[in-house]
């Protein structure tokens, strides 16, 4: 039932309780008296919901139907329920929660930004073997009651009173005479979405279960479970306790000095679940309508000597197919890669959030475009971005500006350099990774409108009074906002030129060819003062080199300036969100992969391995989120799961391991590994759209041995030699600066 419904076309009512609970139970009993050959159920909510049929949950996803700008659209999920319908009585059930629609959302203190009350709606279409059809819809003939979920909120947590469980409420034979008629939304009473559409993305699922590694008791009545991994999802609780026992679970990423869970960095998010025991034996409970970012779970209200299996971590993310592996001889770098993976998993949850634990969890456009190249290696992200690019364009301003985050909540700004550019960069990366031009064609008019805005003489993005977040969280090396904007303007124009060519928009190709050159000149004029580099920061130089904005002597000066900046910082980075992802690729393009390797292997602060040495299992928001000397960083903004600085992952695949696409969709591949004495071996693999790509190089007594696997023709670039190979497996020996092709 892939039908998009416009205003007034959806055939079902939007229902909820008449009064009371935020999280009601809803049910509808119906009869089927003859064989069916098709049964399709479509469910949606202004809020979040779980659908049930004849006593069982439908599907394996969480927080349906996801987050959108509900004023513009909401999605429905479709279920084939033919095998679950029985002759006789059947029962449809739904549990409804506030979710993003009516709960707390973002860092602005808003509750009910879109609406005050969550609502559920569904359509069940039955086709019988005799050719007749029947449609059942949500409406006033359903029944409703306050359920055991007393409160549910994505930021605050969930409260569940197991004493209110009603066994069999969603199954045939249940007496619902004490239930009430639901309240149907009256047309015009509240704003409804402009469209109701089939869900285009990948639902949130449980992708892993983590058992606690240890449990401690820092104080009487408090037990702290260490999951061993900073993760995103919920905690499954297994207990035996007297009826009415109130059990509180608090979540955090770090511990205080006294061993309790650190929550100061959560700001207004309470991130607290409460379970009230039913009594009478073992009880197992998993929250439905909240999620947390956490490594530690603090349990209060039970005896101190709890078994370690009291808490199990249920890992949630959008259920994407993961596609990458990486391993090397340095265990700390391996942990860094795992940290990047876990940061990706925790923040690709319906929208690409910046962080999953505090009162924020927004789809920041800057973080998204900075990490998308890395993400495209880690998983097949196409369905995820099919959905999020709709969110982004729903939020696009009338003048073409893209917002700072999407879905948009009416706060912060538009057309911020390095943030708004996600509207151009994300479709380009998806085309390069998967070779599909549909994503370009779909959003081409909108991308052109954005370029029209930022290529004017006076705009917020790169004009004389440009405003943006700059090189966010840099280390005392501020790059002018306008410089960043001019770099992205020129870079965007080149990407538009490439995309115009592939979709055969000839006039646009000519236009963006001209605009790319004009914008490069504007950048060059700002980057230099006379013949000298005017902006001597690692970020400015890295953008100039990695984005290919300079040529000839200008480029050589930028390279030398970058080397000098690194020398002045004792070989350590000073970059923030904007510069970090470009820094190692720029050094490799500048012929100094050795300096990029040094940056990767640095262990002092600031560095990636400093975090690893201090127990990180995800990427931190700040280079100094925690230090032994100063403790925790600024509590107003200090996430321990924030993937932006993990953008080095792209360089780890494309340079350190050494493979990258030479044509969109990996139709051709280049292998150019960074052979360095700093590693005994490096190996990585990626399941591309063409097939498996892998590269494994290791030191041997007389040089390096290289093994590659490619599904398509490839070039292999090694010291003093370039080889062309067909698809398959190949080996090379780099010996005394010479290269031999070995038989596999």
pLDDT at position 110, please? Answer: 84
The C-alpha atoms of residue 114 and residue 124 are separated, in whole angstroms, by: 27
pLDDT of the residue at 1: 59
The confidence band for 304, taking pLDDT boundaries of 50, 70 and 90, is confident
Q: DSSP labels for 282-321?
A: -EEE--SS--EEEEEEEEESS-S---GGGEEEEEEEE-PP
In the chain, count H helices and then E strands.
14, 43
Q: CB–CB of 468/416 below 8 Å?
A: yes
108 contacts 140 by C-beta, under 8 angstroms: no
184-231 per-position pLDDT tens digit: 998 777 778 999 999 999 999 999 999 999 999 999 999 999 999 999
Residue with tokens 């319908």: 85
pLDDT tens column, 418-452: 999 999 999 999 999 999 999 999 999 999 999 99
Residue 414 carries which DSSP code? B
Of the pLDDT bands very low, low, confident and very high (cuts 50, 70, 90), residue 18 is confident
- pTM, rounded to two decimals: 0.96
Confidence band of 743 (pLDDT split at 50, 70, 90) = very low
Does 740 have pLDDT greater than 90? no
* Tokens 């969100």 belong to residue: 577
- pLDDT, residue 738, reads 54
Domain 324-657 has CATH 1.10.10.10: no
What is the dotted CATH code of the domain comprising 665-742? 2.60.420.10
Q: Which of 146, 197, 505, 621 is catalytic?
A: 621
**Could you say which architecture CATH assigns to the domain 15-201?**
Sandwich (2.60)
> How do residues 369-379 score in pLDDT, each as one tens digit?
999 999 999 99
Beta-bridge partners for 47: none
Q: Spell out the SS3 assignment of 341-367.
A: HHHHHHHEECEECCCCCCCCCCCEHHH
pLDDT category of residue 736 using cuts at 50, 70 and 90: low
**Known catalytic residue at 611:** no
Please confirm, yes or no, whether 360 is among the known catalytic residues: yes
Catalytic residue among 360, 515, 650, 654: 360
Q: Quick: pLDDT tens for 251-286.
A: 999 999 999 999 999 999 999 999 999 999 999 999
Q: Residues for the chain: how many in total?
A: 744
The predicted structure's pLDDT at residue 628:
87
Q: Is the dihedral of CA 314, 317, 323, 327 positive or negative?
A: negative
pLDDT digits (tens, 9 = 90+) for 87-124: 999 999 999 999 999 999 999 888 999 998 999 999 99
Q: Is the pLDDT of residue 517 over 90?
A: yes
DSSP, residue by residue, 386-411 = HHHHHHHHHT--TTSPPBSBSS--S-
User: pLDDT averaged over the chain?
Assistant: 96
User: Tell me, what's the pLDDT at 481?
Assistant: 97
577: pLDDT strictly greater than 90: yes
> Are the folds of 205-318 and 665-742 the same?
no
Residues 385-388: contacts with CB under 8 Å, at least 24 apart: 385/426, 385/430, 385/439, 386/200, 386/201, 386/439, 387/66, 387/199, 387/200, 387/201, 387/202, 387/350, 388/201, 388/351, 388/352, 388/363
Domain regions of the chain by residue span? 15-201, 205-318, 324-657, 665-742
Residue found under tokens 């996600």:
422
> Which is nearest to 202 in space by CA: 375, 55, 364?
375
Give the pLDDT mean for 166-195. Answer: 92
Q: Into which CATH architecture does domain 205-318 fall?
A: Sandwich (2.60)
pLDDT score for 310: 98
Instruction: Band the pLDDT of 656: cuts 50, 70, 90.
Output: very high
Nearest to 236 by CA among 283, 278, 280: 283
């Amino acid at each position: 039932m892939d039908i998009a419904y416009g205003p007034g076309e959806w055939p079902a009512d939007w229902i909820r309780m008449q009064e009371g609970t935020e999280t009601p139970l809803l049910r509808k009993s119906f009869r089927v008296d003859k064989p069916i050959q098709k049964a399709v159920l479509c469910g949606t909510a202004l809020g979040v919901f779980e659908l049930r049929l004849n006593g069982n949950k439908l599907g394996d996803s969480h927080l349906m139907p996801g987050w959108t700008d509900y004023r513009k659209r909401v999605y429905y999920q479709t279920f084939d329920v033919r095998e679950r319908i029985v002759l006789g009585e059947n029962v449809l059930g739904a549990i409804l929660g506030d979710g993003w629609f009516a709960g707390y959302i973002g860092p602005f203190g808003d509750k009910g930004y879109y609406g005050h009350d969550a609502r559920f709606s569904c359509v069940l279409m039955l086709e019988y073997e005799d050719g007749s059809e029947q449609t059942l819809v949500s409406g006033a003939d359903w029944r409703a009651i306050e359920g055991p979920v007393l409160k549910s909120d994505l930021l605050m947590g969930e409260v569940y009173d197991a004493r209110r469980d009603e066994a069999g409420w969603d199954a045939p034979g249940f007496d619902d005479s004490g239930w009430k008629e639901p309240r149907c939304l009256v047309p015009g009473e509240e704003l409804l979405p402009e469209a109701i559409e089939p869900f285009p993305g990948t639902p949130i699922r449980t992708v892993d279960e983590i058992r606690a590694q240890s449990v401690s008791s820092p104080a009487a009545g408090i037990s702290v479970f260490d999951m061993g991994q900073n993760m995103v999802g919920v905690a499954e609780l297994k207990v035996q306790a007297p009826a009415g026992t109130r059990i509180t679970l608090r979540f955090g990423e770090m511990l205080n000095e006294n061993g309790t869970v650190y929550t100061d960095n959560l700001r207004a998010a309470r991130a607290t679940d409460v379970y009230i025991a039913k009594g009478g034996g073992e009880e197992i409970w998993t929250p439905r309508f909240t999620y947390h970012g956490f490594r530690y779970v603090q349990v209060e209200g039970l005896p101190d000597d709890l078994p370690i299996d009291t808490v199990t971590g249920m890992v949630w993310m959008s259920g994407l197919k993961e596609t990458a592996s990486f391993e090397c001889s340095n265990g700390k770098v391996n942990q860094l890669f795992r940290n990047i993976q876990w940061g990706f998993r925790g923040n690709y949850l319906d929208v690409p959030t910046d962080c999953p634990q505090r009162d924020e969890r927004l789809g920041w456009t800057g973080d998204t475009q900075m990490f998308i190249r890395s993400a495209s290696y880690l998983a097949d992200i196409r369905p995820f971005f099919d959905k999020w690019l709709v969110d982004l364009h729903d939020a696009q301003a009338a003048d073409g500006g893209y917002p700072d985050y999407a879905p948009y909540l009416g706060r912060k700004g538009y057309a911020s350099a390095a943030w708004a550019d996600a509207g151009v960069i994300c479709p380009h990366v998806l085309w390069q990774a998967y070779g599909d031009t549909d994503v370009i064609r779909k959003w081409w008019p909108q991308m052109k409108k954005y370029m029209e805005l930022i290529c004017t003489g006076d705009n917020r993005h790169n004009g004389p009074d440009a405003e943006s977040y700059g090189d966010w969280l840099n280390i005392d090396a501020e790059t002018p906002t306008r410089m960043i904007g001019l770099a992205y303007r020129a870079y965007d124009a080149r990407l538009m030129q490439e995309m115009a060519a592939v979709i055969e928009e000839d006039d646009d190709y000519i236009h963006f060819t001209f605009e790319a050159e004009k914008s490069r000149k504007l950048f060059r004029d700002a980057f230099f003062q006379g013949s000298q580099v005017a902006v001597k920061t690692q970020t400015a130089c890295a953008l100039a080199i990695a984005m290919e904005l300079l040529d000839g002597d200008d480029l050589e000066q930028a390279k030398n300036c970058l080397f000098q900046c690194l020398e002045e910082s004792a070989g350590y980075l000073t970059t923030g969100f904007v510069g970090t992802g470009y820094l190692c690729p720029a050094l490799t393009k500048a012929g100094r992969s050795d300096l990029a390797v040094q940056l990767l292997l640095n262990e002092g602060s600031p560095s990636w391995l400093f975090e690893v040495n201090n127990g990180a299992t995800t990427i931190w928001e700040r280079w100094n989120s925690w230090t032994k000397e100063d403790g925790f960083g600024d509590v107003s903004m200090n996430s321990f799961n924030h993937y932006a600085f993990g953008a080095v992952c792209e360089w780890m695949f494309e340079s350190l391991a050494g493979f990258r696409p030479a044509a969109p969709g990996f139709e051709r591949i280049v292998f150019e590994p960074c052979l360095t004495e700093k590693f005994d071996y490096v190996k990585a693999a990626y399941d591309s759209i063409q097939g498996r790509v892998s590269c494994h190089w290791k030191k041997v007594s007389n040089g390096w041995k290289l093994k590659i696997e490619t599904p398509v023709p490839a070039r292999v670039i090694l010291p003093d030699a370039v080889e062309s190979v067909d698809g398959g497996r190949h080996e090379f020996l780099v010996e005394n600066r010479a290269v031999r092709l070995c038989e596999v």
